[in-house]
Amino acid sequence: MKLWKILISIFAVLILFSCAGTKKPQLPNPEDFVWPLPPAEPKIQFVRSIHSELDLGPRKRTLAQKIFETFFGRPRLRALRKPLNVHVDAAGHVYVADSHWRKVLIFDFPKKELDILGKSGRGMLLNPLGVTTDEKGDIYVTDAGGQRVVVYDALHHFKTAFGGKNVFVRPSGIAINPALDLIYVVDTWAHQIKVFSRKNYKFLFTIGRHVKEGKKIAEGSLDQTWNRSDAPGEFDFPTNIAIDKEGNIYIVDTMNFRVQILDPRGNFINSFGKIGNVPGTFSRPKGIALDSEGHIYVSDAAFNNIQIFDKKGELLLFFGNFGSGLADLRLPAGMYIDRHDRIYVADQLNHRIQVYQYLGSKASAAVGENH
């Protein structure tokens, strides 16, 4: 009898433990990640992450696909590996230059499809570093490996390419001024911004120091060291670029640890920033973007955060933490802010795009949208 009671007790305990084990762990709520923290009024809110084609949402499969997957299994999941830069067009397509794939991945949320740009042919990409689009839907990709800018149409077909090894050393960031039909390309290793006509893709002028006899000064170096400068309107390893509503350009002057603001012709307006390890300074500034109210956002790969400044260079807020948690960042790089003031950040070592929302007066309605 005693043995029977002991067995019943053990059985009851096992049932209790098994029931406890089936309880699902409570996942963090994205809406809980805001900056600044309460009781201050939140200005930035985490929205979501984009990592793979699963983030596009469930997609209907055809009968043929179902039969194929029954016998051969589902195709390998396509996901980001090391996203370096990001852009979003007016239709909500998210373009990601991935340095591991060496291609541009396009997340088409309306159609729930993932496409890969630059796989073969004349439009094959070797090492894409930057991507943007224009109002016609054309896609512009800076290809450092090919030392060119490759242009595709809205259907992702190769259209043309411009630049070449006689023009670029290492093209990276890119932005378009549609009003003036100008294309600005950051040439990081030339320490310059090179400007082209969007009408015929012809080279127009250079912004930054340009020493013609430089090859005799530093022959054999990878970058054009003779063009490095900390003077206003000149650069030391610039990386990314953004344009405001007036057409002024904002350049991350990485190794000068500053942001420079220039007019459309490259004339100096202002600059801010210095090297440091406290908020308001820079250590490895990489990406830059502007919201609808003109605030300037700068990602810093060493700080693993985003700092927000006004046009005078005064720090307003910073957000993001180092880590692999839901709203964290590890080595952030390029970034973009869409027309809804959603902030997209290339989170390199977490293999994802982190999406945040600026909670300004114009943006609050967009928080609940899909991406």
Q: What is the mean pLDDT of residues 344-370?
A: 79
Residue 118 is predicted with a pLDDT of: 97
d(CA 329, CA 346): 9
d(CA 281, CA 158): 41
**β-sheet bridge partners, residue 114:** 107
**β-sheet bridge partners, residue 108:** 113
State yes or no: pLDDT of 3 exceeds 80.
no
CB contact at 8 A, 312 and 329:
no
User: Which are the contacts of 195, defined by CB distance < 8 A and separation ≥ 6?
Assistant: 182, 183, 184, 185, 203, 204, 205, 206, 207, 266
Pick the more confident residue, 196 or 20: 196
Residue 63 is predicted with a pLDDT of: 63
Q: Could you tell me the pTM of the whole model?
A: 0.88
Residue 76 is predicted with a pLDDT of: 83
Residue 368 is predicted with a pLDDT of: 45
Question: 32-41, 153-162, 217-226, 288-297: lowest mean pLDDT where?
Answer: 217-226
* CA distances from residue 175 to 76, 87, 94 in whole angstroms, order as listed: 34, 10, 16
State yes or no: pLDDT of 315 exceeds 90.
yes
Instruction: Tell me the three state secondary structure of residue 188.
Output: helix
State yes or no: pLDDT of 23 exceeds 60.
no
pLDDT per residue as tens digits for the range 120-146: 999 999 999 999 999 999 999 999 999
pLDDT per residue as tens digits for the range 209-267: 998 765 555 555 789 999 999 999 999 999 999 999 999 999 999 999 999 999 999 99
Q: What is the mean pLDDT of the chain?
A: 90
Q: What is the mean pLDDT of residues 343-366?
A: 85
Q: What percent of the chain has pLDDT over 90?
A: 79
Instruction: Tell me the three state secondary structure of residue 91.
Output: coil
Residue 202 is predicted with a pLDDT of: 98
* Residue 281, phi then psi, degrees to nearest 5: -110, 175
Residue 10 is predicted with a pLDDT of: 56
The band of 12, judged by pLDDT with boundaries at 50, 70 and 90, is low
State yes or no: pLDDT of 363 exceeds 50.
no
CB contact at 8 A, 57 and 362:
no
State yes or no: pLDDT of 69 exceeds 80.
no
State yes or no: pLDDT of 370 exceeds 60.
no
Instruction: Tell me the three state secondary structure of residue 55.
Output: helix
Residue 367 is predicted with a pLDDT of: 44
Residue located via tokens 């009968």: 63
Residue 215 identity (one-letter amino acid) = K
State yes or no: pLDDT of 54 exceeds 70.
yes
